[in-house]
Chains A and B, each alone.
Chain A
Amino acid sequence: MRKYLSTLFICLIVISGLCAQQKRLLTTNQLIDLTVTAGSSQQSIATSYVFNRGIGKSKKFEIGLGVRNTAYFGVKKDFWTAPANLARTTTFPFAVVFAGQKTENWDTLNVQRPFTNSLNATVNLGYHLSNKFYAGFNIDLIGFTVGRKSPAVFTSNGVSKTEPAAKPAAFNLLLTGDNDYGSLNSEFFLRYQFNKKNGVLKECTSFYLQNINQPL
């Protein structure tokens, strides 16, 4: 496996949000996100609902849960096919993310027209950097995926095999790194808030780093 789906750096626009209360920094913070990413050979559209609760006296730090629906589609994408116990030097949770890679064990599944639609529960973290700036991170925890079957080419040790109908994994579960199952997404974003009226966040622009992990 030489390439893998990861890290689209795209300028995104968060269309609208709702804030539950009217204080400057809120006890709870609810919002709905519409996120669009586009690359030359892959695109995704994600809609998520976020419910965060401020922590501490200042309420600058937030933690919460949410739900995200992500539609992903692409053309001729390579997917990792080796499980963590073959592809990494350790499978220990979290450590696996930074573990060495055994590239000699990688195989490639090149899916010709992948399409997945996943619904996942998310965990969210956020921090109010200032009155205008907010940094946030969220990641899918568990959920399920539906998607279409697509022709694929499986390559191992230079020899290929046609897979007439590769289909996405139905169950998603965050176990960190290559231990993950299914289609999981994460976002890191910085948000700049233009204005706020009556507790409603009218409009903001965000820059996201989105990591899409979608083994089939």
Chain B
Amino acid sequence: MKKIVFACISLVLVFSACKKDQSPTVPVNDPLDTTAQVKFTGTFINGPFGMVTGTAQVLRAGNNDSYSLALKDVMISNGPDLHVYLSKEGQPVNFIDLGKLKSAAGTQVYSIIGNPDFTQYKYALVHCQRFNHLFESAELMMR
């Protein structure tokens, strides 16, 4: 009986062990479309929970109307469950989730689905979803 209880508790502990889920630290260098137009750009500033250097750019592809967000030469303090947002506010209140942060360093490109109104979605954010901590933000200005 004791073995069974022990097995149950062990099973729970194994599966409930906290997954750190940190972003990779190996720099990512996504190729940038050289024909793309830079429509908006901004410099990252530190949020309450992170340190960052680098810029954010909204790119419009040269061959169609698709948009993407490029994080250029960024160095971001790492954390769990970091996501990249295109946001209406400097805080993650209303936003479009572009996906998990690919890496804490390098140049990264995230596709923007649809054609959001960039006069409303004028911030790029890196946000820790799990703990609701804003790591950094960049206000995107028209180029």
Please give the residue numbers on chain A whose beta carbons come within 8 Å of chain B beta carbons, in ascending order: 13, 15-16, 34, 36, 38-40, 43, 45, 73, 75-76, 110, 112-113, 151, 153, 155, 158-162, 164, 203
Contact = CB atoms under 8 A, between A and B. Distances in A.
Contacts, number: 65
Interface in B4-59: 4-5, 7-8, 11-12, 14-16, 19
Given A16-B1, A151-B129, 18 more contacts: A13-B4, A15-B4, A36-B11, A36-B12, A38-B12, A38-B15, A40-B15, A43-B12, A110-B129, A112-B129, A112-B130, A112-B131, A151-B131, A160-B94, A160-B95, A160-B96, A162-B91, A162-B93
Given A13-B4, A13-B7, A162 B132 contact: yes
Given A158-B114, A162-B93, A113 B15 contact: no
A38 B11 CA distance: 7
B11 to A, nearest CB: 5
A155 B114 CA distance: 15
The A interface, classified by DSSP as helix, strand, loop or mixed, is: strand
A34 B7 CA distance: 13
Given A13-B8, A15-B1, A43-B12, A158 B129 contact: no
Nearest to B9: A36
A216 to B, nearest CB: 15
B142 interface: no
Nearest to A112: B130
20 contacts: A15-B4, A36-B11, A38-B14, A38-B15, A39-B15, A43-B12, A75-B19, A76-B129, A112-B81, A112-B130, A112-B131, A112-B132, A153-B129, A155-B97, A158-B114, A159-B96, A161-B93, A161-B94, A162-B132, A203-B1
A46 B92 CA distance: 36
B92 A162 contact: yes
Nearest to B133: A151
A113 B113 CA distance: 28
Nearest to A40: B15
B81 A76 contact: yes
Contacts of A15: 1, 4-5, 8
